Amino acid sequence: MQTHNLGYPRIGAQRELKKACEQYWSGKISYEQLEQTGKNIRLENWKIQKQAGIDIIPCNDFSFYDQVLDMTLTTGAIPERYADIAMRPDLYFAMARGCQEHGIDITAMEMTKWFDTNYHYLVPEFLKNQQFTLNSNKIFNEFAEAKALGINAKPVIIGPVSYLLLGKEKEANFDKIDLVENLLPVYLQILSKLGTQGAEYIQFDEPFLTMALNHKEKTAYEFVYRQIRKKFPDLKFIIATYFGGLQDNLALAVNLPADVLHIDLVRDAGQLENVLKAIPAHLRLSLGIVDGRNIWKNDFQKSLNFIQQAAEALGHERLLLAPSCSLLHTPCDLNLEKSLDAEIRNWLAFARQKIDELVTLKAIATGSTEEKIVSRLQENTRAVESRKTSVRIHNPAVQRRVQSIDQHYSRRKSAFAIRKAEQQRILKLPLFPATTIGSFPQTAEVRSWRAKFKKGLITAAEYDSLLKEETKRVIEWQEQIGLDVLVHGEFERNDMVEYFGERLEGFTFTTNGWVQSYGSRCVKPPVIFGDVHRSRAMTVYWSEYAQSLTTKLVKGMLTGPVTILQWSFVRDDQPRAQTCRQIALAIRDEVADLENAGIKVIQIDEPAIREGLPLRKTDWDAYLHWAVECFRIAASVVKDSTQIHTHMCYSEFNDIIKHIAAMDADVITIECSRSQMELLDAFAAFHYPNDIGPGVYDIHSPRVPSKDEMVALLEKAQAVIPAEQLWVNPDCGLKTRHWPETERALKAMIEAVTAMRAGV
Ligand code: GLN
Ligand code: ZN
């Protein structure tokens, strides 16, 4: 039995990579200095894994930006537009981030989510006659680097089929999978070089084996791996599947001529039995038993049961133990958390601890009687037991309340048409009501107040009065330019999820639990460890204050349950739906309090609904069912006359419009301007009955849109959606913008509204 790792986090325990990249981009350090930082991180990661006792240690899991972009550079699939800078050392970063200097203006490659994680990769671009040539020595250099340390590392390479499937056809009339024959020679070249260098194992990441595949794609799998085997009969290769079970690809996967097949037993424990039945005698099995996507300590007893089941069928020699997927998706090291509560800390494991878990599991499974190992098992059993029983986690009142949820919780009192009339009577909004999505610029000054307050440099009262002044200023400004529904500006919030997590029971926060989101960007998700409930109002103070300053309507501003769930580390001891219902009840209580405080319009943001979609379409309905239900639980407590808004950005709605409609928000605002209102087609085709605010300008750019542009967009909108249903607003919140452009853009937006009203 061996242990191996699929990949280690590469941002560095102190986010060294982020800092070095950003310094290099701003010209503060040289390319050599940047490379040195990368090298230090790799050496440190290898040292950690070697000292822990991992048998097969990965290399080429490092990246300065993204492993898919590395592969694109390696295969030479460099889009035409970079031809002028092809010789420069920063071609790589130009592909990642675009390049705008010395009269050159080239866009970046498109970025998209890595399966259902919060990591984003750069999408390869393919032409019909795409040629591939070996174009980088990164893989070989990193292998040699590890070898110099005495480690015969396992290069991790995105498998050829998954690499193609991750890409996008940039020309019509061809299928990217047909490029497999052009691509294969580069892979053969890589393997041949690695063989010469002395590589023993190679890991091909083929996550698409857990997804629905068509006949051509399946054939491509058989083709490439047979060719690879034919050319390299002695090279040992691992095919790594993760983020789901093999399901209908089981026979295909186990019959590929690999040496090791890796399966994800965290996402699909049930597949073990079927794999054990189907696995041919030459194939070894890697059990992905330590969760690479979450931060909980492994339950050793549970893992040992899997190992035993597999060992009975295959024998110890044919087994490897591994994390379910690369540890890229977990923070580096729990030891760096100095202020975590001791009881909670005892339930957690970050990448470094997960590595130790694998080594310990192997020792126990192979019968070690070493005292150290025996006591680790006992400690683990105690930690798992304490999680099962701790009163910090289990709150009977919350559980009873979730159990008591019935249809009344998720149903507004009346149907939309009746609500709309009632709201019209009370709110008296004009045609094309103008509003914004919530936040106003979080200037350096606003952020500095929060930092000073956190450091104790200003008192709570001082912080409060600074925020009040800023809020008052934006309320007055919004009144003056003529917005119809105002917002308080969200100056008191650091982040739309963290702010609520900090005010809810059942959440905790790390100080260093960073995970790479893309490039140098990292996120530090809150940890939901226990039953969630709200013990006091979270936002009423600011909404009430803002409303007291004006006779116009001020929108209450909340983050929805699905988004809070989606952007946190979530408990694994109960279904996600259950955790989400608890959050929904907490938000519901806040909605009720806002209404009681006289707030007549309440927005519940749900930008993450779409990204929560399961990888396989067959699982979509089940997810959407509880996700929509949770939104409705949060929203349905109010009177007919209280208007509920929701907001969603970066979404496509075509295939989920029925569920979006089932959310039954009185108003939905969506990001729309970059698609030139195309996103509205889904609503139009569905005859979506409720009100819609399609974003009329892109808030991701400092560019100020003209009145005419926005009028043109609104006319497009009006052509497909009746005017009585339309609201006018920007694409999203304005917190990342500066004031000068915000002022000009919103004034132009109001001019556009005035023109529209005059025109109807
Ligand atoms: N209300 C939030 C804001 O305006 C919404 C942010 C989002 O959708 N991502 O900042
Ligand atoms: Zn948004």
**Which tens digits make up the pLDDT trace of 95-104?**
999 888 777 8
C-alpha 670 – ligand 1 centre gap (Å): 11
pLDDT digits (tens, 9 = 90+) for 475-499: 999 999 999 999 999 999 999 999 9
Whether 661 lines ligand 1, by a CB cut-off of 6 Å, is no
DSSP state of 617: G
C-alpha to C-alpha distance for 353 and 334, rounded to whole angstroms = 7
For ligand 1, atom 9: residue with the closest CA: 607
Q: Which residues of 334-357 are buried (b: 16+ CB within 10 A; e: fewer)?
A: bebbeebeeebbbbbbbbbbbbbb
The ligand 1 atom at the shortest distance from the C-alpha of residue 437 is 4
- The mean per-residue pLDDT over the stretch 412-430 comes to 98
User: Between these two residues, 659 and 702, which has the higher pLDDT value?
Assistant: 659
The two three-digit tokens of residue 117, written as one number: 């994680």
Residue 530: CB partners within 8 Å, gap ≥ 6?
390, 392, 393, 394, 395, 505, 506, 571
**Which residues form the catalytic set?**
700
pLDDT digits (tens, 9 = 90+) for 32-66: 999 999 999 999 999 999 999 999 999 999 999 99
pLDDT-derived band at 760, boundaries 50, 70, 90:
low
Count of alpha carbons within 13 angstroms of residue 736, beta-carbon side = 11
Whether 607 lines ligand 1, by a CB cut-off of 6 Å, is yes
Say how far residue 288 (Cα) sits from the centre of its chain. 21
**Does the interface predicted TM-score (ipTM) exceed 0.95?**
yes
C-alpha 667 – ligand 1 centre gap (Å): 15
149 SS3 class: coil
Q: Check the annotation: does 113 bind a ligand.
A: yes
Q: Which of 467, 461, 476 is nearest to 445 (CA)?
A: 467
pLDDT exceeds cutoff 80 at 88 = no
Whether 555 lines ligand 1, by a CB cut-off of 6 Å, is no
Whether 323 lines ligand 1, by a CB cut-off of 6 Å, is no
In angstroms, the Cα distances linking 110 to 98, 121, 415, 692 are 10, 8, 42, 28
C-alpha 557 – ligand 2 centre gap (Å): 12
* Least confident among 96-105, 122-131, 375-384, 385-394: 96-105
- The most distant pair of C-alpha atoms in the chain lies apart, rounded to whole Å, by 84
- The mean per-residue pLDDT over the stretch 603-614 comes to 95
For residue 439, give the ligand nearest its CA.
Answer: 1
In angstroms, the Cα distances linking 184 to 78, 110, 180, 284 are 17, 24, 6, 24
DSSP string, 338-372: SSS-HHHHTTB--HHHHHHHHHHHHHHHTT---HH
For ligand 1, atom 3: residue with the closest CA: 733
- The mean per-residue pLDDT over the stretch 418-442 comes to 98
CB 292 within 8 A of CB 327: yes
The two three-digit tokens of residue 247, written as one number: 């399901």
The ligand 1 atom at the shortest distance from the C-alpha of residue 603 is 1
pLDDT-derived band at 89, boundaries 50, 70, 90:
confident
C-alpha 439 – ligand 1 centre gap (Å): 6
* Least confident among 81-85, 615-619, 649-653, 677-681: 649-653
At residue 549, the pLDDT reads 98
Whether 438 lines ligand 1, by a CB cut-off of 6 Å, is yes
Q: Check the annotation: does 490 bind a ligand.
A: yes
For residue 698, give the ligand nearest its CA.
Answer: 2
Q: Check the annotation: does 21 bind a ligand.
A: no
> Among 437, 564, 737, which residue has the most ligand 1 atoms within 8 Å of its CB, making it the best to mutate?
437
pLDDT exceeds cutoff 90 at 21 = yes
Q: Check the annotation: does 438 bind a ligand.
A: yes
Q: What pTM did the predictor assign? A: 0.95
Whether 496 lines ligand 1, by a CB cut-off of 6 Å, is yes
Q: Check the annotation: does 118 bind a ligand.
A: yes
pLDDT exceeds cutoff 70 at 194 = yes
For residue 33, give the amino acid letter: Q
pLDDT digits (tens, 9 = 90+) for 164-181: 999 999 999 999 999 999
- The mean per-residue pLDDT over the stretch 730-754 comes to 96
Q: Check the annotation: does 17 bind a ligand.
A: yes
CB 664 within 8 A of CB 700: no
pLDDT exceeds cutoff 90 at 674 = no
639 SS3 class: coil
- The mean per-residue pLDDT over the stretch 287-296 comes to 98
Whether 602 lines ligand 1, by a CB cut-off of 6 Å, is no
C-alpha to C-alpha distance for 110 and 95, rounded to whole angstroms = 9
C-alpha to C-alpha distance for 584 and 512, rounded to whole angstroms = 28
- The mean per-residue pLDDT over the stretch 123-143 comes to 97
For ligand 1, atom 4: residue with the closest CA: 733
Treating both helix axes as pointing N-terminal to C-terminal, what angle do 460-481 and 444-454 enclose, rounded to 10 degrees?
160
Whether 608 lines ligand 1, by a CB cut-off of 6 Å, is no
For ligand 1, atom 1: residue with the closest CA: 438
* Least confident among 7-16, 162-171, 565-574, 670-679: 670-679
DSSP state of 199: -
For residue 242, give the amino acid letter: Y
Whether 649 lines ligand 1, by a CB cut-off of 6 Å, is yes
Q: Check the annotation: does 502 bind a ligand.
A: no
C-alpha to C-alpha distance for 677 and 576, rounded to whole angstroms = 33
pLDDT digits (tens, 9 = 90+) for 210-250: 999 999 999 999 999 999 999 999 999 999 999 999 999 99
Q: Average pLDDT over the chain, rounded to whole?
A: 96
CB 205 within 8 A of CB 262: no
C-alpha 649 – ligand 2 centre gap (Å): 4
DSSP string, 417-484: HHHHHHHHHHH---SS-BB--SB----HHHHHHHHHHHTTSS-HHHHHHHHHHHHHHHHHHHHHHT-S
The ligand 1 atom at the shortest distance from the C-alpha of residue 733 is 4
Q: Which residues of 596-622 are buried (b: 16+ CB within 10 A; e: fewer)?
A: ebebbbbbbbbbbbbbbbebeeeeeee
The ligand 1 atom at the shortest distance from the C-alpha of residue 648 is 8
Whether 647 lines ligand 1, by a CB cut-off of 6 Å, is yes
Within 10 angstroms of residue 428's Cβ, the number of other Cβ atoms is: 9
C-alpha 697 – ligand 1 centre gap (Å): 15
